Amino acid sequence: MIDKLDSNFETSIHEILNCEGRIIIMGMGKSGIIAKKIASTMSSIGTPSYFVHPSDAFHGDLGMITNKDIAIIISNSGETSELIQLMNPLKRKKIPLIGLIGKHRSTAYRRHPLWHV
C-alpha cells in the first residue's frame, strides 16, 4: 500500500484537517457500506461527517452540501455512473473532491481533477 501513497495523500489529509465544514462520504454498493462506516467513525472521533447516498443526492440531498465541505468518493471500479454524474455538480459548488478509486484507468479517475489516494 505504501507504494500507492504520494503527495496526493498528504494533500488530502491536510484538506480534511483544515476543513471548515463537514466531510461528506459517498459510495454505492459495498463501497457505500464502507463509506457509511467511515462517516460514522469520523463523527465518533469529533470530525463532523456524514454519508450521502449518491442517488439521493440527485433528489434533494445535494442541497445540504456547502462549499465549506469536502467530498470523499469511494469506488473500486471508478465506473459507478451515479458517482461520476455527481462530480460536475460538486465541482460547480467548489467542493474539493478526494477520490478513493480502485482502478486508475477508470472514468472517475481520469475525467475529473480529484485527489487520488
Residue 64 in domain: yes
Which residues neighbour 84 within 8 Å (Cβ) at sequence distance 6 or greater? 107, 108, 111
Greater pLDDT, 51 or 8: 51
| pTM higher than the cut 0.85 | yes
Return the CATH number at 54: 3.40.50.10490
Residue 116 in domain: no
Residue 98 in domain: yes
Sheet holding 70-75, edge to edge: 49-51, 23-27, 70-75, 97-101, 115-116
Classified as helix, coil or strand, 35 is helix
C-alpha 60/C-alpha 78 separation (Å) is 24
Residue 48 in domain: yes
Q: What per-residue confidence (pLDDT) applies to 19?
A: 94
Residue 77 in domain: yes
Residue 51 in domain: yes
Give the range of the structural domain holding residue 9, as residue numbers without chain letter.
2-111
Residue 117 in domain: no
